[in-house]
Structure 1
Amino acid sequence: MVGVTPVAPQEGGSAPPAGQKATGRATILGILAALSGLMFGLDTGVVAGALPFMAVDFHAGPVLQGWIVSSMMAGAAFGAMFAGRISVSFGRTGAMLGAGIFFLIGTLFCAFAPDVGVMIVGRVLLGLAVGVAAFAAPLYISEITVESARGAMISFYQLMVSLGIFLAFISDSFLSSGGHWRWMLGIMALPAILFLIVVLILPQSPRWLMMRGDTERARTVLRVLRSDEEVAEAELADIHSRLSKSSDAGFGLFRSNRHFRRSVFLGIMLQIMQQLSGINALLYYAPRVFEAAHFGVNASVWATTLVGLTNMVFTGVAIMSADRWGRRPLLLASCAIVGGALVGVSTVLAYGGESVTASFLLCGFILLFVAGFAIGEGPLVWALCSEVQPTRGRDFGIGCSTVTNWVANWVISSIFPLMMLVMGASGTFVLFAVFNGIFLLITLGFVPETKGTSLEQIEANLFAGVSLRHLGEQREHEQ
């Protein structure tokens, strides 16, 4: 892990000691919070295997299938709109608890759905849970973790998403031979119950407690999370200094402070580009993509499982590398790999024919695409969106970027089946390759390197007018 360069103490507080290391307790609590990502991944991945069988039972064409898939994204966008308010009122753990309840209820609706209408209602409920959890969990993890481990810990949330997708694909693969789509959906109730139990033991975020004026509870939690009392007191003073600098928060801060608007727009831009990478279109409809390459139905499901495994393994690579190599190098490499792989996918689909060689090439390019996404565009976008928002505006800023993520996700998942029909599989993936090229340029021009920099230092740079590209630099600012 990279140590932290000392920074000048802030008014009313002092900078945390350099070289601060994550404690085992903070790491364990961060991992437990990241289990919300497991639920996210399970509900994302399970529909890929269940959809072909649901389509037959419910006589659903491409448009209706798009609604079944995208209804969860619509619910997630709606949930994310209110996630910030929920998180402010009930805390990050309270938001995750509510999400766990909706995970369980939505799972039961889907498993026992008698028709498409009830299925869509269940998917919307799952979406509400995902929207709130995807907001609260990375935020919670960023607030309890020291800067030397923050990138890895927030990326661990994405690893849990990847693990959930992989486990869902494995489950789908074993159940696909009998077409047991209700079991595919219903088995998700078990991890939902586990997640509910886990959330009950998580302490509230010390930053949220400070925002509520509960300094003593914040001090108690920080002493549990940090290596010693001196470190905890220094961080407590720094949080207090940041909170006391402005009476504005949330939308009020957004309206009155142009520097905060910059960080909000950066988060929105990152989330749009993540969705335009094409990853979720592939994950939701992977069996259809493989069938377009003349894989059989069962072979397509197993090939999709290999996609999930690749996603999980290379997300692990991102976790090990985020705080060593930095966010920007990984994100730039990710954009280049994904764009190149998509060009390969498009070429094989257009000119490969039905040969065995073409099928293996397609599978290889798709796996390269997923690996490229998993090392950067997937986990690091969530990390950056959590890191660049100031304390008083963090709920609002992350809320805006999370809503954007789900709206873009909903739009793409809704129109992807029609894109495949109108543009063909080859044309569709060329378009996604172009978007990845744009993402690379945006990263070069606007995305900061935040490894080893405290949230308070990033905030100080933001409000001092430092360019977005340089927000992660260690600087001294006049108070």
Structure 2
Amino acid sequence: MRNNNQMFNYNTLVSVAASLAGLLFGLDIGLISGALPFITSEWSISIHQQEWIVSTMMLGATLGSISNNWLSARLGRKRSLLWGGIIFAIGTLGCTFASNINVMLFFRVVQGFSIGIASFAAPLYLSEMSDKEVRGRRIATYQLMVTVGILVAFLSDTWFAQTGNWRMMFAVLLVPTVILILSVYFMPRSPRWLASRGYMQEAQKVLLSLRIDERAASSEFQEIVASLKVKQSGFALFKANKNFRRSVGLGLVLQFMQQFTGMNILMYYAPKIFEMAGFTSNMEQMFGTVLVGVAFVAATFIAIGMADSWGRKPALKIGFTVMGVGMFCLGLLLKFVLAGEAPVYFSYLAVLTSIVCICGYAMSAAPMVWVLCSEVQPLKGRDFGIACSTTMNWISNMVLGATFLTLLNGIGTAQTFWLYAVCNILFVAVTIFFVPETKGVTLESIEANLMSGKKLRDIGIPHDSEQPVPLKSHHAHS
């Protein structure tokens, strides 16, 4: 008899350890909004240099994402995460002791490279390790850790803002980085990656250690074996198979949509936005930023609860609608505040609207896009497909971070937010007509539907599985 409590704890450990990569991601996003005003003051840098301090991290993440197709396929998801943590520690040390803007930009690229690796490997690892009934919740836990990281960074920034010590804002990242490296070292490798590399016995052991039902583990393993019968893999499969090209295209569109909601500008430039809303002191701006972080964490718990019960598609439709309306209202409020024509409460309404926008994002596009992108790619093309979609995420993120201040100065504050509002409304239509519902369906069933040519929005319909073949009972040890 297998100890169910032990297995539950083992699954939870895997989920939390992999999600620590999300914590680093969130910490890095959050800290720069607090550090940037002090770096700007100390080094007297221009608007464009400020944008590059924000966006060079995304440049590095793009390079890390591009390299993932090779790294994850050959090293595996676990070792990719391990190296991502080590590289992040190097980048963080470089930023902490940077002597000028050029050194800072270089090590921001290094930090970004590691984030690009982790943002690819962590959701992929979680999707391949999780049972179909809790897969969405597990990957949403990764997003929860991102939001917790953002909140912790905002709190840390607020504390160090009292003295203007932006170097310590970077230095505190080393603590969770070391915890991530140590945690990942003891995690097992993905059974799907093991099977794709020919390590069938070890793949069986890992599956049996993760699943309470041995028959379910047996059935899942047989589906994995069947999915490996596809002859081509990676880019060769992309060239040869139009159905795989469809799933790659869907992943690219989903990540583009996630970024062009405009929500990350509320993270990167939160103090700037609150300054426009009429809050002039650093402490007022940082307090508003902390409120945004608290809302982000709270709303992500909603996403975790609904990912496997309500589903991915309803969350996206509601989230994009909330963000579209919220962005329009935020632009309108800032227009009146900046014109000096608004009562004082408009400033507080702007903060409240920002929080509503963040809640809409945290319960929808933030976790659900990562969930879907890790689910819709076939096993033989999963590394390539997710590398493409993750690269799109960081390219879009970089464009967003590098153009926000320029857009404000070019087309105006209200028009900038209205532009994002229009994007969100368009994304509702894309979700309705193209995005599948994948809750409660095995990765192999989704793959079978995709490869049979079903419409993208129908690939999440359950597919009949083969009868399970009993496996010899083993336990994997981390």
Counterpart Cα distance in 2 of 1:84 and 1:150: 22
Which deviations, in whole Å up to 9, do the C-alpha atoms of 1:96-128 show, x marking residues without a partner? 011000111111000110000111111111100
Match of 1:160 in 2: 145
Pairing of 1:267-282 with structure 2 (within 5 A): 267-282=251-266
The one-character-per-residue Cα deviations of 1:346-386 (angstroms, maximum 9, x if unpaired) are 11011244532011110110000000001101100000000
Paired with 1:283 and 1:226, the residues of 2 have a C-alpha distance of 38
Question: Quick check: 1:70–1:410 contact (8 Å CA) kept in 2?
Answer: yes
Alignment partner, residue 371 of structure 2? 383
- What residue number does 1:261 align with? 245
Q: Name the TM-score, length of structure 2 as normaliser.
A: 0.94
Q: Percent identity of the aligned residues?
A: 43
**1:228 CA displacement:** 3.8
In 2, the alpha carbon distance for the partners of 1:198 and 1:321 equals 28
Q: Compute the displacement of 1:59 (Å).
A: 1.0
Gaps in structure 2 of 5+ consecutive residues: 1-6, 467-478
Match of 1:19 in 2: none
Distance 2:292 2:47 in 1: 23
Residue correspondence of structure 1 range 94-173 to structure 2 within 5 A: 94-173=79-158
- Equivalent residue for 1:408, pick from 385, 389, 396: 396
CA distance in 2, matches of 1:132, 1:60: 30
Report deviation, 1:230.
2.7
AA aligned to 1:68 is I
Aligned twin of 1:15: none
Matched, 1:70 2:58: no
Counterpart of 1:398 (choices 357, 368, 386) is 386
Look up the match of 1:461: 449
The Cα shift of 1:423 comes to 1.9
The Cα shift of 1:72 comes to 0.2
Q: How does 1:273-352 map to 2 (within 5 A)?
A: 273-296=257-280, 297-352=282-337
Structure 2: distance between partners of 1:140 and 1:390: 14
Cα offset for 1:24? 3.7
For 2:164 and 2:220, the matched residues in 1 are separated by 54
Where structure 1 has 5 or more consecutive residues not aligned to the other structure, the ranges are 1-21
Quick one: distance in 1 between partners of 2:86 and 2:358? Answer: 31
1:200 matches 2:188:
no
The partner residue of 2:232 within 241, 248, 258 is: 248
Is contact 1:263-1:388 (8 Å) kept? yes
Task: Say which SS state the counterpart of residue 179 (structure 1) adopts.
Answer: coil
The 1:23/1:42 distance shift into structure 2, 3 A limit, reads same
Deviation at 1:247, TM superposition (A): 1.4
Partner of 1:179: 164
Structure 2: how far apart are the matches of 1:101 and 1:58?
29
Secondary structure in 2 aligned to 1:451? Answer: coil
Given the alignment, which residue of 22, 39, 44 partners 1:54? 39
RMSD: 1.2
Partner of 1:362: 350
Q: Which 10-residue stretch deviates more, 225-234 or 319-328?
A: 225-234
Q: Hey, what does 2:27 align to over in structure 1?
A: 42
How many residue pairs are counted as aligned between the two chains?
A: 456
Partners of 1:104 and 1:208 in 2: how far apart? Answer: 26
* Counterparts of 1:373 and 1:340, CA distance in 2: 12
Q: Distance in 2 between matches of 1:384 and 1:198?
A: 26
Q: Which amino acid is the alignment partner of residue 121 of structure 2? A: A
Say whether the 8 Å CA contact 1:289–1:425 is kept in structure 2. Answer: no
- What is the letter of the counterpart of residue 90 of structure 1? L
What letter corresponds to residue 266 of structure 2 in structure 1? L
CA drift at 1:477: 9.4
Residue in 1 that maps onto 2:176: 191
TM-score by length of 1: 0.94
The C-alpha deviation readout for 1:413-455, integer Å capped at 9, x for no partner, is: 0111111111222111000000001111100110001011111
Contact 1:339–1:437 (CA under 8 A) maintained in structure 2 = yes
Give the drift of 1:229: 3.0
The 8 Å contact of residues 78 and 128 in structure 1, kept in 2 or not, is answered as yes
Counterpart of 1:378 in 2: which secondary structure? helix
**CA distance in structure 1 between the partners assigned to 2:112 and 2:265 by the alignment:** 16
Q: Secondary structure of 1:472's match?
A: coil
CA contact (8 A) 1:445 1:469 kept: yes
